[in-house]
Chains A and B, each alone.
Chain A
Amino acid sequence: MKVSLFITCLVDQFFPQIGISTMKILRKLGVEVEFDSRQTCCGQPAFNTGYAEEARQVARHFLEVYGDSDHIVVPSGSCSTMIKVFFPKLFAEDSSQRSLAEEVGQRTFELSEFLSSVLEVESTGARFPEVVTYHDSCHLLRELGISSQPRQLIRAVEAIDFREMDHCDRCCGFGGAFSVKFSDISAAMGEDKVGWIQSSGARYVISSDVGCLMHIRGLLERQQSPVQTMHLAELLAKFED
């Protein structure tokens, strides 16, 4: 099987390790992985702040790059949602772009969904003898309805001690532009989240969205907490090469 990776702009520029982990997992499972260097961003920053025209330009670029791909795998819940749910809405008045967006959306999968539902993988063979908890990112959970897949994959990691935190499905407060427009509210929500992460007893908080993780990690570091953040792909790639 051949997969086109959409690594997302944040992972590409700021967290390449997550991209490398994603690639490592897919290759181990016998998938042929392709990285098209014309890829950039899904357009979310513009879309979420009300700049629909700018978002459309970036979405058009995405559709040009990925128009012919069989499977598009994305290690991010919110970017997958942008493509699958919001691209068709952006092109509500442009029927040919809309149908292209819908088709591409059907071929786009968030990583855990792709592993569980398409490849039907139960375990990636990772081993991680640590206490971890999982933060549901909002778009992945509520727009795409994905909550059991990442958990099944985490539980299958060898020697892992997985503990649910209270309010695992409450927003961490990141919200893209919200985190800077309403920085104080965002941080207060994040501090609630950090509190629940810490009470779970976990040393690592796992999530499928880099935005949430960047926000949570920024708060944890400010508090000099020993708890670390980890993207789901990084966890699932913890196997011997």
Chain B
Amino acid sequence: MIKISANVQSALADETLQGNLRRALVDTPHPRDEAVSEVPNWEELRRYARDVKAHTLSRLPEYLQSLEEKVLEQGGKVIWAETGQEAVQFILDLSHRRGVREVVKGKSMLSEEIHLNRALERAQIKPVETDLGEYVIQLAGEKPSHLVAPALHKSRKEIADLFVQKLGMAPTGDVLEIIATARKLLRHHFLTARMGITGVNFAVAETGTIVIVENEGNVGLSVSVPEIHIALMGIEKVIPRSRDLAVFLKLLIRSATGQKMTSYVNCLNGPRRSDELDGPQEFYLILIDNGRSKILADDYMRQSLSCIRCGACLDVCPVYQTIGGHAYGSTYQGPLGAMLTPLLTSVGEAPEHAFASSLCGACHEVCPVGIPIPQILLKLRERFQSERNQKAASLSLEKLAMQGWARVMCSPILYARLGRWARMLHTVLGKSGMGRLPIPLFSRWMKHRDLPALPPRSFRELYSSSQEAS
């Protein structure tokens, strides 16, 4: 079971993390804002993308089949993996058959989701992350804290120190020098690794094209230099037509980094053909379910599968800005993680995720495909409570309290009487006395804040006496 609450204190007490989060996300305006404001029909594009996604999800098996056919026609192979474990097993088996000892990887959150690196290492196969942020994370032995900027929680200095410590680089504050060091080391891996593994941003059903965006050129090398390319794809990433791609790329890239276009957009159509100069000899597309068809079968929750993983909701989320990604304890973090983690696993496995939000709505406001994340979180809260109270032999104390509360709120007389008693109690005990009552509601509130001074009379009492007077 993942508990966010267990990680909050340490995240808040970590001054370096707090400084890094603030510098990256709060004190500097996000480049997204300007990039979005430059597109006059942004809202129209959002609606279009949302409709395309809804349509695609409503006919997902059809589109996936058409994608498979096209990939096969182009000489690629398609593997359907119901679980992460099946995908991992396929990669391990293929690596053994081909004698692969080293793998270069493009940034892929799905690879994190299925814990691929751990499995490769156990099988004595060396995974090398080639995205600079992922490379840093791998050196540090950590997990990404942001799906677009995996090392967002680290400062320039922390990264420089890491390079000195792990790679024997001479101490420097120069970012370009850090990048040059990584580049030189990675070049070597691209030449020696015989397998490249990447994620997929979009897969076009009508053409079988796999689209991967990037800025560093590392994906381009990972998919062309090694003999084998494996693309890991969540089944929700398929889009019907090439013409939709222009819209999705615009929405994704502007939302993610504020760029007009990434430095590279890799559009891949199967392995190298006889008349081509480069590309892998073998291409495998692994279509991974890992809990997605369960979400797909749920009419309400299905919309969460429209997510294109731009990360904008993390950037604007005040909770994410306050605790960072690692505190979520899950592969996906921020609002998107709060939504997807309990959906991909279960509300019992991630009982706090849906509650770790003030429901401020900043995520919905920026979401390029308009996913109403706060409303999905509310629905998840509802499911959590009903599952909890169905399972429990007797109703939870909270449920009983809520039932009692509802009864009071449906009875104006009880409501007025209870309000009067609460105010009387407050008069007798005083503010600090209220905090000492064995009621978590008060003590948790008063840990950081004072209680308001309560008035002797309620509005309704004042109102009725003024009516009598007049």
A175 at the interface (CB under 8 A from B): yes
Interface of B is mostly: helix
Are the CB atoms of B382 and A143 closer together than 8 Å? no
* Residue interface mask A149-192, B partner, CB < 8 A = 1: 00000000000000000010011011111111111111111101
Q: Which residues of A contact B378 (CB under 8 A)?
A: 47-48, 50
- Indicate whether A185 sits within 8 Å of B356 (C-beta atoms), given known contacts A40-B415, A61-B410: yes
**Quick check: B455 and A16 within 8 Å, CB to CB?**
yes
- 1/0 per position for A1-41, CB-CB distance to B under 8 A? 00000010101111111011001000000000001011111
Name the one of B318, B406, B457 contacting A16, with C-beta atoms under 8 angstroms.
Answer: B457
Interface residues of chain A: helix, strand, loop or mixed (majority): helix
What is the 8 Å Cβ interface bit string for chain B, positions 203-246, against chain A (1 contact, 0 not)? Answer: 00000000000000000000000000000000000000000000
Count, chain A residues at interface, CB 8 A: 67
B319: interface (CB < 8 Å): yes
Interface string of A222-234 (1 = CB under 8 A from B): 1000000000000
Interface flag for B460 (CB, 8 Å): yes
B455 A15 Cβ-Cβ under 8 A = yes
**Please, how many angstroms separate the alpha-carbon atoms of A11 and B399 in the complex?**
25
Contact digits for B356-375, partner A, Cβ 8 Å, 1 yes 0 no: 11111110110000000001
Contact of A16 with B459 in the complex, beta carbons under 8 Å: yes
Nearest residue (CB) in A for B365 is A142
Check if A184 sits within 8 Å of B448, measured CB to CB. Answer: yes
Contact A188 B459 (CB under 8 A): no
B73-81, B99-107, B119-127, B439-447: which one contacts chain A? B439-447
Give the A-B pair count, Cβ closer than 8 A: 190
| Given A50-B378, A188-B322; A57-B410 close (CB under 8 Å) | yes
Q: Residue on A with the closest CB to B423?
A: A13
Q: Which of A12, A143, A221 contacts B450 (CB 8 A)?
A: A221
CB closest chain-A residue, reference B359: A175
Judge if B430 is at the interface, Cβ distance under 8 Å: no
Question: Is A54 at the interface (CB under 8 A from chain B)?
Answer: yes
Q: Any chain B CB within 8 A of the CB of A131?
A: no
List CB contacts (< 8 Å) of B6-28 with chain A: 8-9, 12, 26
CA distance A181 to B359 in the complex (A): 13
Task: Report whether A219 and B449 are in contact in the complex, using a CB–CB cutoff of 8 Å.
Answer: yes
A residues at B contact (CB < 8 Å): 7, 9, 11-17, 19-20, 23, 35, 37-41, 43, 45-52, 54-55, 57-58, 60-61, 89, 138-139, 142-143, 167, 170-171, 173-190, 192, 214-215, 217-219, 221-222
Report B's interface with A, CB cutoff 8 A.
4-5, 8-9, 12, 26, 318-319, 322-323, 354-362, 364-365, 375, 378, 380-386, 398-399, 402-403, 405-406, 408-412, 415-416, 419, 422-423, 440-441, 444-445, 447-452, 454-455, 457-464
In the complex, the 9 A-B pairs of residues with the closest C-beta atoms, listed nearest first? A218-B449, A175-B358, A50-B381, A187-B448, A171-B360, A142-B361, A54-B406, A16-B459, A19-B459
